[in-house]
Amino acid sequence: MNIPTTHTPLFLRHASQLVTLKGSSNAPLTGAEMEQLHIIEDGSVWIEGGRIQHVGTDEELAALYKERMAEAEVIDASGSLVTPGLVDPHTHLVHAGSRENEFEKRLQGATYMEIMAAGGGIHSTTRATREASHDQLLKESRRRLDAFLLQGVTTVEAKSGYGLEWEHEKKQLEVAQELHRTHMIDIVSTFMGAHAVPADYKERPDEFVDLVMNEMIPEVARLGLAEFNDVFCERGVFTPEQSRRILEAGKKHGLAPKIHADEIEPYAGAELAAEVGAVSADHLLRASEEGIKAMANAGTVAVLLPGTAFFLMADSADARAMIDAGVPVALSTDCNPGSSPTVSLPLIMNLGCLKMGMTPAEALTATTINAAHAIRRGHEVGSLEKGKKADLVLYDVSDYRSLQYAYGVNHARTVIKAGHVIVRDGVRVG
Ligand code: NIG
Ligand code: FE
């Protein structure tokens, strides 16, 4: 949202831990760097014009701004942990309906792919999304964004992919664009026309691939509706070869590639991500060792989604092996009605530690600066540094490890977006 900048500076003081992630704006953190949070004790931040002006100890900032203290609105953060606003780099935010019926079927033994092959799954949400009006989609998605915000999330990536025909793909992307303009959370849009082969193309999938490449992608680019292009590369959905064609077509039109890779079966998706220069490869539950190596060499961010593995009752991706191999790792909710109906990024941090061998510090890096780099926003958000957008969260705990430790609890108390207090003491005020 283009938030009007106020002239009153904001002076946040005395955080018991101010997690800055300093020095990480140019590239995502890898290996041992993911542990380095650069915490300032008794930390303070001076915010002006929606941007961070200074970060340091309270002693330093109090001396520096002595003359201007009276102008500022002071936020007392004593006893509180403060982090950068959290970033969710992979969601299917804009959709209609829900799939409790399939959840129950899966509990009785049906698999996710069986349900999809029988015309449910993504196809079922596609039917609901096609039927929904722009305004209905806007209302449902706005509600989800409000819930994200209350938990400290200030930037969200959102994919299309439940239209699977131009009119409805466009509708989803326009809803995302309107949310970006009108909601406090910043939205980064991804076109995912290749999320599934629609029912009427079942017997001629290559014709649908051509339609995505030759008609939809050029329109997305011409209308400026997205900056990324994503594909579900999976046996029974799009082959690696079809995925490559779609991602290359996007590149020609200035859309940066992303890929849903190796989610259900090993399918050389990680390898493909590295080869096409994808900004991120996401899921990777079944990524091969070679694929992980290739991603490390190419600097592809692994966006891991342990909530999806949890909800599909599958083994999680091996975050530990990826971090140790030098792959920059980010975490995300994958918020969608089929495989991860959640808006809780903090819960995803808990799962990152409990199910994927991440340390609490790595999980926090993965939901801040590395998540920002996964959507090319590392220069703007994800760390607390001079010049960056003033997106910050204050929590009711004083140690960052409490976030990954106490699960299913919302610790966020105050959320600041672009220098404005949007949530105060757990209540939405802006
Ligand atoms: O990231 N795997 C493909 N797409 C989504 C799920 C979409 C759905 O089931 O509606 C995912 O898990
Ligand atoms: Fe997804």
3-state secondary structure of 81: strand
* Residue % of the chain over a pLDDT of 90: 98
Mean pLDDT over 142-160 rounds to: 98
**Distance between Cα 338 and ligand 1 center (Å):** 6
- Residue range(s) occupied by CATH 2.30.40.10 in the chain: 10-84+383-428
Please determine, for residue 3, whether its predicted confidence score (pLDDT) is greater than 90.
Answer: no
> Exposed, middle or buried by CB within 10 Å (0-12, 13-18, 19+), for 108?
exposed
Question: Is 76 annotated as a binding-site member?
Answer: no
* Six-digit token string for 32: 């041992």
Question: Which of 262, 334, 340, 342 gets mutated to test ligand 1 (max ligand atoms within 8 A of its CB)?
Answer: 334
Question: Which of 88, 90, 92, 243 gets mutated to test ligand 1 (max ligand atoms within 8 A of its CB)?
Answer: 92
Strand order, beta sheet including 39-40: 39-40, 17-19, 81-84, 392-395, 412-417, 420-424, 427-428
3-state SS of 154-203 is: EEEEEECCCCCCHHHHHHHHHHHHHHHHHCCCEEEEEEEEECCCCHHHCC
Under the banding of pLDDT at 50, 70 and 90, the label for residue 1 is confident
Under the banding of pLDDT at 50, 70 and 90, the label for residue 265 is very high
Question: Which of 260, 310, 342 gets mutated to test ligand 1 (max ligand atoms within 8 A of its CB)?
Answer: 260
Question: Is 168 annotated as a binding-site member?
Answer: no
Do 62 and 70 meet the contact criterion of CB atoms below 8 Å apart? no
Model pLDDT, residue 153: 98
> Exposed, middle or buried by CB within 10 Å (0-12, 13-18, 19+), for 313?
exposed
Please determine, for residue 200, whether its predicted confidence score (pLDDT) is greater than 90.
Answer: yes
For CA atoms 288, 290, 291, 293, give the dihedral sign. Answer: positive
Q: Which fold has domain 10-84+383-428?
A: Urease, subunit C; domain 1 (2.30.40)
Model pLDDT, residue 7: 78
- Residue range(s) occupied by CATH 3.20.20.140 in the chain: 87-375
- CATH number 3.20.20.140 given to 87-375: yes
**Distance between Cα 266 and ligand 2 center (Å):** 17
d(CA 145, CA 350): 21
Angle between helices 269-276 and 240-252 (to 10 degrees): 20
Query: Quick one: CA torsion of 288, 289, 291, 295, rounded to 10 degrees?
Result: 140
Mean pLDDT over 200-228 rounds to: 98
Answer yes or no: pTM beyond 0.95.
yes
**Distance between Cα 307 and ligand 1 center (Å):** 12
DSSP 34: G
Model pLDDT, residue 4: 67
CA atoms within 13 A on the CB side of 16: 11
pLDDT digits (tens, 9 = 90+) for 56-87: 999 999 999 999 999 999 999 999 999 999 99
Give the type of residue at 185.
Answer: I
Nearest CA to 44 among 6, 76, 9?
76
Q: Across 291-355, where does the E strand assignment appear?
A: 301-304, 329-331
Please determine, for residue 375, whether its predicted confidence score (pLDDT) is greater than 90.
Answer: yes
Mean pLDDT of the chain: 97
**Distance between Cα 336 and ligand 1 center (Å):** 7
Please determine, for residue 188, whether its predicted confidence score (pLDDT) is greater than 90.
Answer: yes
> 367: Cβ–Cβ under 8 A, 6 or more apart, which residues?
86, 87, 88, 330, 331, 345, 348, 349
Mean pLDDT over 258-280 rounds to: 98
Distance from chain centroid for Cα 33: 21
